[in-house]
Amino acid sequence: MTSTLTTNISLEKPANGDYVNTWSTPMNADWDVVDATVGGTTSLNVVAVSGTVTLSVAQYRPRNIVMTGLLTANIVYQVPSGVGGTWSIYNNTTGAFSITFASAGGGGTSVVLTQGYSNIVTCDGANVRQSYTVPPSAAGSTTQIQYNSGGLLAGSPNLVYTGGYLGVGTSSPMQKLDVTASVNDEGMQITNSSSTGGRFRLKSTGTGGREYDVCSTANSSGFLGGKFVISDVTAGDVARVAIDSSGNVGVGTTAPSATLDVVGPIWSRPGGATGAVATLTADASSGSNGISLFAGFASGGYGPIRLGTSNTERVRIDASGNLCVGTTTASTLLTVAGTVTATAFAGPLTGNVTGDVTGNVTGNLTGNVTGNVTGNVTGSSGSCTGNAATATSAANASNSTTQATTDNSTKIATTAFAQALIAAKLSGYTVQIATASYSFASGHGTATVTWPSAFPTACAGAFATAIGTNTGGGGIGANLVSAPTTTGCTVIVESFSSSFGGSGTVQVVAFGN
């Protein structure tokens, strides 16, 4: 009869009548197999091996299998279908590939052998599974996460998972990730060595939610390198805020050129939907560059724009567009409480000018002056063109018989005389008034007039009048004999009839510089 073999390790079972007087031959061979099975080791070199390899009976019979060499491909080692047993397999290979232990029966489970470890596996003829005689005991306490500490499992109260919360540095996390530190400058760090930089993403999947990234950029990033950027991923990774390596903050731009660089209007309010707001906008419309500043309320309506120094308001533009300087109320386009200094005024002046005008008025006053001029006019004067409809003050000239009082209380008897005085003052000239006595028997006479102070440069002009009596009645006229000098002039006084004489005082208004 023919001998048979056992399924798993192929022990020979002699048939009845076989091996007469030589029975020791199969018996000794079987014991050798048992010995190899219990204490033997199979060595498998994986170099240049790939794909699926079915182990021979001599290879899978020892319960210890050691695999060595550099993996160059994934390998599946399998035992023949129906073969069962338990093996300790040491995967001592290197290389970034895997080794799987399986049964050729197909369709069953298999085990990927962990590199660098001994793997205990069991096969029931079709399925291969990991084998554990005693479940490994956990390190640490409840909720603590185990980690490798010198090749052994360990746990720590500073690394826990409880109630769906992960705690680092705390045993009582309050959020999905709770990082707690008590040492200066400790915290959380995200490092990315790529050419575009690292990102931390915040994503809301609720209604109306959006997705944002907090980025630390590198040179190949679309935002360029060395920046801290908050980007709107939902909008297509659009940068909303950027801080460059110089500390400049950009809003709406990733290339800020100032400490704060904003592309778009700036809207400021103290709080609340109905609070006052100020909108500052760089205006480049219609080809002109400028800045627009508007004030109002978020709920509608408008308020003033106020400018101040030393915590005091100095200038205000009210809601009607009136400009207030030194005051907070105005009924006209410009209201100034204080002194105004200007190099020029242009355009017609209409309406009333009230109050005292003191100091020098230099330059030309052109255009029509309509309305009343009231108050004192003092200082230097010059030329004046245009119409003076009415002039009333302590120095007034309403008709030919009214006297006008000037700076030194000398009286002037004619409207034209007063108008000449006012015109000279308004034009910025220095004005002087001088007097001299006259007396003649008939026809005419002369009087020499000397200015109270000589004009430094020149006398630009003079206007003379005579105040006195005519022996025959009637009027007396006065005119300059020649152009006035810096020190004085000569005046001729005439009677309206050559047979009459006269006596009195000549008054001269002189203006110059």
393-416 pLDDT, tens digit per residue, is 323 332 222 233 333 333 344 555
C-alpha gyration radius of the chain: 57
DSSP state, residue 113: P
Q: What are phi and psi of 46, to 5 degrees?
A: -95, 0
Element (H, E) at 121: strand 118-124
How far is it, in rounded angstroms, from Cα 462 to Cα 285?
57
pLDDT at 425 over 80: no
How far is it, in rounded angstroms, from Cα 162 to Cα 84?
42
**In which band, very low, low, confident or very high, does the pLDDT at 351 lie, cut at 50, 70 and 90?**
low
User: What is the predicted pLDDT for the residue at 284?
Assistant: 60
Q: In 3-state terms, what secondary structure has residue 424?
A: helix
Q: Are 318 and 324 in contact (CB under 8 A)?
A: yes
Alpha helix locations (H) across 138-229? none
pTM exceeds 0.95 for this model:
no
User: What is the predicted pLDDT for the residue at 408?
Assistant: 31
Nearest to 418 by CA among 407, 432, 429, 404: 404
User: What is the predicted pLDDT for the residue at 441?
Assistant: 86
SS (H, E, C) 284-328: CHHHCCEEEEEEEECCCCCCCEEEEECCEEEEEECCCCCEEECCC
How far is it, in rounded angstroms, from Cα 258 to Cα 277?
24
User: What is the predicted pLDDT for the residue at 208?
Assistant: 93
How far is it, in rounded angstroms, from Cα 68 to Cα 115?
10
Residue 409 gets the label, from left (phi > 0), alpha (psi -120 to 50) or beta, of: left
Alpha helix locations (H) across 264-414? none
User: What is the predicted pLDDT for the residue at 342?
Assistant: 78
Q: Within a 13 Å sphere around the CA of 308, how many CA atoms are in the beta-carbon half? A: 9
- Bridge-partner residues for 490, per DSSP? 448
Nearest to 42 by CA among 96, 85, 104, 72: 85
Residue 15 gets the label, from left (phi > 0), alpha (psi -120 to 50) or beta, of: beta
How far is it, in rounded angstroms, from Cα 72 to Cα 48?
7
The winner for highest mean pLDDT among 31-40, 59-68, 216-225, 281-290 is 59-68
Distance of CA 505 to the CA centre of its chain: 78
Nearest to 111 by CA among 89, 96, 130, 134: 130
- From 236-240, 243-247, 472-476, the region with the lowest mean pLDDT: 472-476
**In which band, very low, low, confident or very high, does the pLDDT at 95 lie, cut at 50, 70 and 90?**
very high
Lay out the sheet containing 197-203: strands in order across: 197-203, 211-217, 228-232, 238-243, 249-251, 260-262
User: What is the predicted pLDDT for the residue at 429?
Assistant: 82
Quick one: what percent of the chain has pLDDT higher than 90? 38
Residues whose CB falls within 8 Å of the CB of residue 141, separated by 6 or more in sequence, listed in order: 155, 157
Q: Are 77 and 50 in contact (CB under 8 A)?
A: no
pLDDT at 152 over 90: no
Nearest to 119 by CA among 96, 89, 140, 95: 89
Residue type, 43: S
Q: In 3-state terms, what secondary structure has residue 259?
A: coil
Residue 272 gets the label, from left (phi > 0), alpha (psi -120 to 50) or beta, of: left
Region 268-273: mean pLDDT is 63
Region 292-305: mean pLDDT is 67
Q: Where are the domains of the chain?
A: 4-38, 40-130, 147-179, 190-266, 342-513
